[in-house]
Structure 1
Amino acid sequence: MPTLLALDASSSACSCAVWRDGEVFSRFALTPREHTRRLMPMIDEVLTEAGLVPADLDALAYGRGPGSFTGLRIAAGVAQGLAFGLGRPLIGVSTLQALALAAHRQHHLRYVIPALDARMNEIYVAAYHCRDGQLTPLLDEAVMAPQRFSLPEACRDADWSGVGSGWTLWDSMPPLIQDALSQRLPDMQPAAAEMARLAAEAFAAGQGQPAHAVQPVYLRDRVAWQRG
């Protein structure tokens, strides 16, 4: 298995993690608007804890989105800079997939809808079936108004759980969604610890790319909204 460093700044949280021989060393903090200042010291701390120097890394990874436009650019810039400097491949990891994996690992949830508040009364959302640490996508990542969200047709009777800040828009969700959910965990944030696990699998499958080829995933091109 590779030794890799994962970074994330896609939400109000800032985090980094090292994957080494199946062990994860991580840092996580809720630091709204302080990602630029906090990320590099976190990297130094987690590498020191793992007993590594940057040259020991086989690859780097970062939360590619969806999420905060500014945060995604911060993490992408740091990760790409390190990958270029070290001559290592880079892996972009879905923030929604990382949320689903965290819900599965921490709370043993199987049918998970990760959703992030996309502002402008929209959510970033997907759906996964989680089993034995493996995630099967049931809905592609999308951005939409919460009123438009619907469950996968083949799994509407499953025991669904919602995780992530998008579920703070609960009152805007359709009644069918509200009835289908057994629980909500709106305080969960994407974290580099889960991204490191996902990135290690991706790297082992040959999915590492040159640093210049990896780009953030915004899902929405609009960065401002104006009333007509």
Structure 2
Amino acid sequence: MTTLLAIDTSTEACSVALLYKGEKTHLFEIAQRTHTKRILPMVDDILTNSGIRIAQIDALVFGRGPGSFTGVRVAAGIAQGLALGTDIPAIGISNLTAMAQQAYEQNGSINVLSAIDARMNEVYFSHLMAEKVRLDSDEFIQWKEIIKEQVSSPEKVIQQLSACDKDWTTVGTGWSAYSQFALADLTLNSNITLPSAQYMLSIALPLYKQKQWISALEIEPVYLRNEVTWKKLPGRE
């Protein structure tokens, strides 16, 4: 039976989750500016309480971003250190998709708009649709990007959604951060505001079964904003 350990520090939330013997346990707390102090003790606590060692983990799951630059770097760095030390593979999960998975598990939502406040009058955003897939005898949810994850102004997000089916669930801090969304009748309509590692486990399990993992040396954070800045430079595409 697959054993997965997930960590996330991409936002003000700090979380750890474990899939062991088919059951999930998790720890979640708000830890602004203290992620580096809290994440490893939380990992120790969840492993100790479950009676297993890090070496027994089949794969390490981590929130790869987008999110705060510092928080995303912390998650990637801790994941790399743990994976290198135990020679186990890693699976990076989008923090935007993790919130969509939570909306599905809690409310049955299959059409999700996910947004995290990126500051500077921008949000990290994606539009996701759930699809059921079957692996062997098990059924899983797989998320299809209707609108690819990006960093955008509220105006650009609203423009992209103008032709979309409006039967959606909104998740994340982005919707309450800017008045433009309220004016466009786009507001938070769920209680999901921050990503949590426990929902990354559900996304990671089918990826692990399909051997869609990376080595510790391949772990990289996803910032999105850096990519946009690069594209805006003269001569870049």
Please, what TM-score do these two structures have when normalized by structure 2?
Answer: 0.85
Question: Aligned Cα RMSD in Å?
Answer: 2.1
User: Distance in 2 between the 1:166 and 1:99 partners?
Assistant: 12
Mind listing any 5+ residue stretches in structure 1 that lack a counterpart? Answer: none
Contact 1:146 1:169 in 2 (8 A): no
Deviation of the 1:185 alpha carbon: 3.2
User: Distance in 1 between the 2:165 and 2:146 partners?
Assistant: 14
Contact 1:147 1:174 in 2 (8 A): no
What letter is aligned with 2:155?
Answer: Q
Deviation of the 1:51 alpha carbon: 2.0
Deviation of the 1:152 alpha carbon: 5.3
Give the paired residue count.
219
Q: Which residue of structure 2 lines up, in the alignment, with residue 178 of structure 1? A: 185
Task: Confirm or deny that 1:141 pairs with 2:149.
Answer: yes
User: Distance in 2 between the 1:190 and 1:89 partners?
Assistant: 22
Q: Which residue of structure 2 lines up, in the alignment, with residue 189 of structure 1? A: 194
Contact 1:8 1:14 in 2 (8 A): yes
Q: Which residue of structure 2 lines up, in the alignment, with residue 168 of structure 1? A: 176
Query: Runs ≥4 in structure 1, deviation > 3 angstroms?
Result: 131-134, 150-154
Deviation of the 1:22 alpha carbon: 2.7
Deviations 1:61-117 (A, max 9, x none): 110000011011111111100100101111111000001000111122221101000
What SS is found at the alignment partner of 2:128?
strand
What SS is found at the alignment partner of 1:11?
coil
Contact 1:91 1:199 in 2 (8 A): yes
User: Distance in 2 between the 1:164 and 1:174 partners?
Assistant: 14
Task: Confirm or deny that 1:58 pairs with 2:65.
Answer: no
User: Distance in 2 between the 1:58 and 1:206 partners?
Assistant: 11
Q: Summarize the alignment of residues 77-156 of structure 1 with structure 2, pairs less than 5 Å apart.
A: 77-130=77-130, 133-149=141-157, 150-151=159-160, 156=164
Moved more, 163-172 or 83-92: 163-172
User: Distance in 1 between the 2:146 and 2:20 partners?
Assistant: 30
Moved more, 204-213 or 186-195: 186-195
Task: Confirm or deny that 1:212 pairs with 2:220.
Answer: no
Q: Which residue of structure 1 lines up, in the alignment, with residue 44 of structure 2? A: 44
User: Distance in 2 between the 1:64 and 1:95 partners?
Assistant: 7
Deviation of the 1:23 alpha carbon: 1.4
What SS is found at the alignment partner of 2:78?
helix
What SS is found at the alignment partner of 1:198?
helix
What letter is aligned with 1:157?
Answer: D
User: Distance in 1 between the 2:85 and 2:167 partners?
Assistant: 46
Mind listing any 5+ residue stretches in structure 2 that lack a counterpart? Answer: 133-140, 230-237
What SS is found at the alignment partner of 2:61?
strand
Please, what TM-score do these two structures have when normalized by structure 1?
Answer: 0.88
Task: Confirm or deny that 1:159 pairs with 2:167.
Answer: yes
Q: Which residue of structure 2 lines up, in the alignment, with residue 20 of structure 1? A: 20
